[in-house]
Amino acid sequence: MAVTRRLVPVEEWKDPRQLLGVWGERVALAYLTTQGWTVEAHRFRFGRHDIDLVARRGELVAFVEVKTRRTNACGSGVEAVSLRKQRIVAKVAAYWRLRYGQAGDTYRFDVIAIRQPEQGGEYVVEHLEDAWRLM
């Protein structure tokens, strides 16, 4: 018998880590739009993997991985994007390019790390452009 999974809307999520991640993605989306980017996709899925954000500015398309942290105790968000994660994002990006890419587009992989202090205060956004390249 096939297992069916119910899609649970974000509003019903209870795990604080998931909620922090969604909050970070929304902050990153707002940040990119203020920087002149158009967000073409949020959580673009291919199979069980996804890209957090796909953003465009002219003919430049950025596949953006968003990492949100409360502290840097376990490393920064930028450091958390492992080689394995880079390969997964690249696979999903290749699928996006096949479906939605346009002639003349150039592509890159970015990381946006957001640090939100637990005791309130201002969050910090770090945008690492062209964070890695495919080998």
pLDDT tens, per residue, the chain with 135 residues = 566 666 666 666 677 788 788 889 999 999 999 999 999 999 999 999 999 999 999 999 999 999 988 777 666 777 788 899 999 999 999 999 999 999 999 999 999 999 887 777 788 899 999 999 876
Rounded Cα gap, residues 131 and 59, in angstroms: 18
Rounded Cα gap, residues 135 and 92, in angstroms: 16
The CATH number of the domain where 47 resides is what?
3.40.1350.10
Residue 1 lies in a domain: no
User: Can you give the pLDDT at residue 60?
Assistant: 97
User: Can you give the pLDDT at residue 21?
Assistant: 84
Return all residues near 106 (Cβ < 8 A) that are at least 6 apart: 59, 60, 61
Residue 26 lies in a domain: yes
Residue 4 lies in a domain: no
User: Can you give the pLDDT at residue 19?
Assistant: 79
Among candidate residues 61, 58, 51, the one with its CA nearest the CA of residue 129: 61
Instruction: Report CA Rg, the chain.
Output: 16
- For residue 48, give both structure tokens: 């069980």
Domain span holding position 64 = 14-132
In which element (H, E) is residue 132 found?
Answer: strand 124-132
Rounded Cα gap, residues 68 and 16, in angstroms: 12
User: Can you give the pLDDT at residue 73?
Assistant: 67
User: Can you give the pLDDT at residue 8?
Assistant: 61
Residue 34 lies in a domain: yes
Number of domains making up the chain: 1
pTM of the model: 0.86
User: Can you give the pLDDT at residue 34?
Assistant: 96
Query: What are the b/e assignments for 29-47, b being 16+ CB within 10 Å?
Result: beebeeeebebebbebebe
User: Can you give the pLDDT at residue 17?
Assistant: 80
Among candidate residues 134, 135, 18, the one with its CA nearest the CA of residue 8: 18
Residue 2 lies in a domain: no
Residue 95 lies in a domain: yes
